[in-house]
Amino acid sequence: MPPRPLEVLLVEDQSGDARLVELALASEPAGEFVLRRATRISEALALLGERHADVLLLDLGLPDSQGFEGLHAIRAADPRTAVVVLSGTEDPELVGRAVGEGAEEYEVKGLTARGYLGGVVRAAVVLRASRARLADPRPVEPEELSELDTLSEAVAVLEADRLRRVNRTWRRLFDWSEKVPVDLPSLVRDAVTRVGRVGGRPATGPGPITAWGEGVVQRADGRKTSVRYIVETWPVPSGPRVLLRIRPRAATGTGSGSGRDPAWVAPSGGADPTPLGPLPNRGDRGAVLDSDAWVAIREIAGGDPTFVPQLLESFRTYGAELVTALVAADDRRDLDEVQRSAHTLKSTSAQVGATRLAEISRDIENACRAGRSDRARELVAQVEPEFREVLKALRSPPGA
């Protein structure tokens, strides 16, 4: 008998972002996923009451919830559901907090390669089941965690300071073999030691203590690999039980990483991920439209002739509304509303490959976070002319 489809509940109020998710999962083999959608947390809770969802894809900004309010409500209603947080920004603090508050993954909204989102959904199911088992104080047999071998990140399970299981990716990353025991890399030892004290925070309510960070590990062959990691610790009677997840960023001498890997955690502390350097001119930011993004857009569209026209029409209408709202908020000196509008315009622009407009919006968002209203105003002045350039370029997008 074939496995049953995974039940996925998307909680997203923006139709453009929802459409990208729908098409990404529709490109998977038939029968793998059943997708439902809610636009509010209240609606999502009602749907969960009707039928369990294996995975919930959750936007952090909804009409009836902001930040982690929605995640807390979902966790209280159905602790079994795996949660993937969706956001328009890869803010380091948000990434770490999302996992610390109970989410399995954190994903930045936007275009992804065919098959990518399906892989994230499957991994979330495995992680949810593994975390639930590790939270259970009963002794864990290594074979109970065999599904960890399906994950693309390196995973290790420790109990009472002893390494109990590593997955296949861990073996590849560290050239590790049960036949040739090696000490845990210093990064791992440091990460386990600093749980809950540096670069992390205890979860709200019952749950593991969570820490996150980044560093460099040295492989057995001498190569160094830059990684991001997350550590979760459950204080069970047999001794601290630890789940360590590591994702390589880029191996020295092998070039950069492969685009949209699942978003991982970075150092905490509230530091702005994009420092405020000299204000760039629009023309210094590169092309108006990103040709690589349009390759992805056409791949997602597949044989659907309506997708690109609908995407462009949505951007023309909704983008114009966002630009108007952003400029109006700036005229009122409402820095909070400027930041919110810029945040939404950033992800909306990325949907059509308008990388330059997305970068300007990101810089406005960062300036608002830093309290730099003067800087934000200078950047807002670039938005309307850039939006007009994008509309002009979209009359004949790359590959048309």
| 227 & 303 share domain | no
| 385 & 324 share domain | yes
| 246 & 286 share domain | no
Pick from 229, 251, 273: which residue ends a domain? 251
| 246 & 322 share domain | no
pLDDT of residue 176: 65
Is 261 within a domain?
Answer: no
Q: pLDDT-based confidence at 23, cuts 50/70/90? A: confident
pLDDT of residue 249: 60
pLDDT of residue 49: 94
pLDDT of residue 268: 29
Is 123 within a domain?
Answer: yes
pLDDT of residue 191: 56
Q: Is 353 left (phi over 0), alpha (psi -120 to 50) or beta?
A: left
| 54 & 201 share domain | yes
Q: pLDDT-based confidence at 171, cuts 50/70/90? A: confident
**What single-letter amino acid sits at 287?**
A
Average pLDDT over residues 229-238: 86
Is 268 within a domain?
Answer: no
Q: pLDDT-based confidence at 189, cuts 50/70/90? A: low
Instruction: Please state which of the ranges 173-177, 210-214, 353-357 shows the lowest mean pLDDT.
Output: 173-177
Q: What is the per-residue pLDDT across 279-307, written as a single tens digit (0 to 9) for each?
A: 555 455 578 999 988 888 887 777 778 88
Residue 180 or 2, more confident: 2
Is 1 within a domain?
Answer: no
Q: How many domains does the chain have?
A: 2
Instruction: Please state which of the ranges 87-91, 223-227, 283-287, 387-391 shows the lowest mean pLDDT.
Output: 283-287
Instruction: Please state which of the ranges 99-108, 182-191, 230-239 shows the lowest mean pLDDT.
Output: 182-191
Report yes or no: 6 and 125 within 8 Å, Cβ to Cβ.
yes
- pLDDT value at 214 more than 80: no
Q: How far apart are CA 154 and CA 225, in angstroms?
A: 12
Q: How far apart are CA 200 and CA 159, in angstroms?
A: 20
| 312 & 194 share domain | no
What are the residues whose beta carbons fall under 8 Å from the beta carbon of 338, sequence distance 6 or more?
326, 329, 330, 364, 368, 376, 380
| 201 & 313 share domain | no
pLDDT of residue 261: 41
Q: What is the per-residue pLDDT across 36-60, written as a single tens digit (0 to 9) for each?
A: 999 999 999 999 999 999 999 999 8
Q: What is the per-residue pLDDT across 118-168, written as a single tens digit (0 to 9) for each?
A: 999 999 999 999 999 999 999 888 789 999 999 988 898 988 878 888 899
pLDDT of residue 192: 56
pLDDT of residue 396: 92
Q: How far apart are CA 269 and CA 277, in angstroms?
A: 20
Structure tokens of 106? 């954190």
| 287 & 244 share domain | no
Q: Pick from 9-18, 69-78, 205-214 the range whose average pLDDT is largest.
A: 69-78
- pLDDT value at 220 more than 80: no
Is 274 within a domain?
Answer: no
- pLDDT value at 360 more than 90: yes
Is 166 within a domain?
Answer: yes
CATH code, domain carrying 388 = 1.20.120.160
| 354 & 218 share domain | no
Is 110 within a domain?
Answer: yes
Q: Please give the angle made by the CA atoms of 288, 278 and 95, to the nearest 5 degrees.
A: 75
| 247 & 286 share domain | no
In what side-by-side order are the strands of the sheet with 82-87?
Answer: 33-38, 6-11, 55-59, 82-87, 105-108
Q: pLDDT-based confidence at 329, cuts 50/70/90? A: very high
- pLDDT value at 252 more than 60: no
10: containing domain: 6-251
| 196 & 305 share domain | no
Average pLDDT over residues 391-399: 92
Instruction: Please state which of the ranges 131-145, 270-284, 363-377 shows the lowest mean pLDDT.
Output: 270-284
Instruction: Please state which of the ranges 186-190, 286-290, 340-344, 355-359 shows the lowest mean pLDDT.
Output: 186-190
- HEC per residue, the chain: CCCCCEEEEEECCCHHHHHHHHHHHHCCCCCCEEEEEECCHHHHHHHHHHCCCCEEEEECEECCEECCHHHHHHHHHCCCCEEEEEECCCCHHHHHHHHHCCCCEEEECCCCCCCHHHHHHHHHHHHHHHHHHHHCCCCCCHHHHHHHHHCCCEEEEEECCEEEEECHHHHHHHCCECCECCCCCHHHHHHHHCCCCCCEEECCCCCCEEEEEEEEEECCCCCEEEEEEEEEEEEECCEEEEEEEEEEEEECCCCCCCCCCCCCCCCCCCCCCCCCCCCCCHHHHCCCCCHHHHHHHHHHHCCCCCHHHHHHHHHHHHHHHHHHHHHHHHHCCCHHHHHHHHHHHHHHHHHCCCHHHHHHHHHHHHHHHCCCHHHHHHHHHHHHHHHHHHHHHCCCCCCC
- pLDDT value at 22 more than 50: yes
pLDDT of residue 94: 76
Q: How far, in Å, are 27, 342, 349 from residue 323 at the CA level? A: 32, 8, 11
| 294 & 246 share domain | no
Is 257 within a domain?
Answer: no
Pick from 251, 272, 295: which residue ends a domain? 251
CATH code, domain carrying 78 = 3.40.50.2300
